[in-house]
Amino acid sequence: MNWKLNFKALLTGFALLGVLAGCQPQQPKFLGSRGNVAGQYIAEQTRIEYPDACVESLDDVVNCHEPLTLTNPDPDSEWQLTLDECRQMALDNSKVLRQLQGINFSAAGVNGMPNLLLDYPSSTLTVWDPAIVESNPLSGVAATLSAYDAIWNSSVNWNSANPANNETGSYRDSHIYPTHTETGTFQSTISKVTATGGTFYAQAAAAYDYSDASSRLWGSDWTSELVAGFSHPLLQGAGVEFNRIAGPGATVGTYNGVVLARINEDIALADFEIGVRDFLKDLEETYWNLYYAYRNLHASGVGLEAALQSWRTVKAQMDEGYVQGTAQNIAQAAQNYQRFRVAVKEAQNNLYKNERLLRYLLGLAPTDGRLIKPIDEPTVARVKYNWCEIEAEALARTPELRRQKWTVKRRELELIAARNFLLPELNLEGQYRFHGMGHDLFSYKDRVDYEGITPITTSGSAMRSLTHDGYQDWTMGMSLQVPVGFRRQLAAVRNAELMLSRERAILQEQEFETVHNLSDLYADLDRTYHLVSEYLTLLRFARQEVSAVQASFDSGKTTLFEVLDAQQKLADAETSYYRMVIDYNVAIMNLNYRKGSLLEYNGITLAEGPWPTKAYFDANTRAAERDAGHYVNYKITEPRVISRGAYPQIQGTDPTIVPENSGAYLDTQLPTLEEKN
């Protein structure tokens, strides 16, 4: 009872201490504390910091001049460039393929700014992308081929133990005594996976064993072993075709063979070609719109000069007291002059913006003191295509369709791999092994040990016993594993069939959309050509009207309003004519873009850059090895056709020949204007 009372009193005391101390956690107290505990820690867990990444900025970034504006309108010089020179310069300066998404060109001006690199840097195409896909350490061609590399695995271990044992001996009586043991193992294995899915291996091993236990014949011995074996699939996972699609050791739904890796590389090449094509399209469109900006500024300037001359004429008539020199005519002339001043400033600002966009595509600074001026004249000659020919060309050459066809081919191969997993897993396995044992590891004669009174003769070495004593064994057999139901395998086949159907349907719809777009562009090309002629006629009539109305006004037969109206119509007609000329040239470019011939139209071919010298040396060595070896016929499981060969970038040429004077990846041998037309 007293113990219970004391225990209750103790609990009551702890409860009172808890109430007095409160519910807040208490910091511990230490002797010698300096009181600067909080200053040793950062007060927040997450904060905005600046990365320690040092990348040298481009010269065109750090040495950029003040932009040309209406306040700062005077460049140091004029820089005349042809379209061919712009293409060459842009390709030389474009490791990253810039795009003008969000930019809108129209007769009123250009709107928008390029921001794809800032907003979506991961989706930007570069010249390194195909090589990055090819060198991927997980799914690249070299990575998938590494599954067939021979693997050498070796290990050496030594162990020493001195445990206590509860045993009796003739001279140890019944005391607990330690038993000393030492063991050592060496093992070296080389294995190789074959193209048909099998695995071959060879293994050499040696082991040392020492113990002072009384039950052993002699204290130490060496054992040696030489093993050769194989394991080869007969149904599931067998064959060159399956292993090139799925790779050795593939599982259901996970395929990473060399053929799929090569298809991924072909898709990356198609993406790169699309990026170069879109880049050149933006470049040419920007070039011609800069040309139009100059023409628009010139037309507005001519109208401004005519309006100024009209104002001066009316002012002189007012000063001389003529009938036409009224305040109303002065106000109308001044208003018309001011309207043209506004048009000139808008046209000048639009010219500067177009020039900056062209500089962006050329990889140049926004301003360097020079003002780029296009000197190529747009064509007005009739360009006519045969519809059946360009339709067939579009279906054969459009890179988006070629990319989708590679995707369809990949789905077909994945379906083949998925169906292989419906087979039972039946493997043929075999092994042959040589044994040896001796007192030593290496020796050429037998050895006699004297343990007590009776001499013991042992083999001289384990290696000699391995080759002379005939200790051998072999194993041959088969293993079978069959999942009851094949649920996962059947689901994989069904999934592969659905994905293949989806990609085929997408390809058909892409061809359908391509033909529709080509039809619209074909009609647009015809429309712009006819309108160029009509706007040229309109321009001629507008010029005649200005001359006639001005003569009538000078003779007092018409009003100033008619003169000013004719001047405005002339400026609008000239602007509309050159706008339609530019639209006609852009329509020619768009038609080549859609039928897949824009790179050929611009004289551009894509080619792989040079490899290091060591790569060519290794390739020659490998070719010599193949030439000296014996060909292994895999006809039983010969893979199906994957590719139809190299794609001819220039129609009617050998696709395996790279044009001369080509750069690292682009060739810019451009056709003349006559060849284009």
DSSP SS3 for 162: coil
At residue 622's C-alpha, the angle toward residues 247 and 201, to 5°, is 50
d(CA 513, CA 400): 11
Q: Can you give the pLDDT at residue 297?
A: 92
- What are the two backbone dihedrals, phi and then psi, of residue 341, each rounded to the nearest 5 degrees? -65, -45
pLDDT at 640 over 80: no
The conformation of residue 632, written as its DSSP 8-state character, comes to P
Give the range among 76-90, 543-557, 621-635 with minimum mean pLDDT: 621-635
The answer to whether residues 446 and 458 touch, using CB atoms and an 8 Å cutoff, is yes
Query: To which residue do tokens 């010969």 refer?
Result: 638
Which of 278, 260, 274 lies closest to 412 in space, CA to CA? 260
How confident is the model over 287-316, as a mean pLDDT? Answer: 90
Which has more pLDDT, 9 or 197?
197
Q: Are 289 and 367 in contact (CB under 8 A)?
A: no
Residue 461 has pLDDT above 80, yes or no: no
Q: Which residues contact 5 (CB under 8 A, 6 or more apart)?
A: none
Q: What is the mean pLDDT of residues 554-573?
A: 86
What would the mean pLDDT of 244-269 be, rounded to a whole number? 91
CB–CB of 135/124 below 8 Å? no
pTM for this entry: 0.82
Q: How far apart are CA 386 and CA 595, in angstroms?
A: 12
- Angle among Cα 450, 453, 457 to the nearest 5 degrees reads 40
In this prediction, residue 669 carries a pLDDT of 35
Q: pLDDT grade, residue 11 (50/70/90)?
A: low
Task: Name the residue with tokens 């959309």.
Answer: 513
Supply the DSSP string of 603-632, one letter for each residue: TEEE-PPPPPHHHHHHHHHHHHHHHHS-PP
Tally of CA atoms within 13 A in the half-sphere of 36 that contains its CB: 3
Q: Which region among 104-108, 363-367, 537-541, 566-570 has the lowest average model confidence (pLDDT)?
A: 104-108
Comparing 1-5, 281-285, 575-579, which segment has the lowest mean pLDDT? 1-5
Which tops the pLDDT comparison, 188 or 634?
188
Is 80 exceeded by the pLDDT of residue 118? yes
- Helix axis angle for 327-362 and 560-594, nearest 10°, is 20
| Partners of 80 in the β-ladder | 373
| Confidence (pLDDT) at 661 | 42
User: Quick one: tokens of 497?
Assistant: 């069939």
Q: For residue 591, what pLDDT is reported?
A: 95
Question: Which residue bears the tokens 């396995």?
Answer: 429
d(CA 167, CA 177): 8
Write out pLDDT tens, residues 501-515: 999 999 999 999 999
Q: What is the pLDDT of residue 14?
A: 58
DSSP 3-state of 192 = strand
Q: 460 and 442 in contact (C-beta within 8 Å)?
A: no
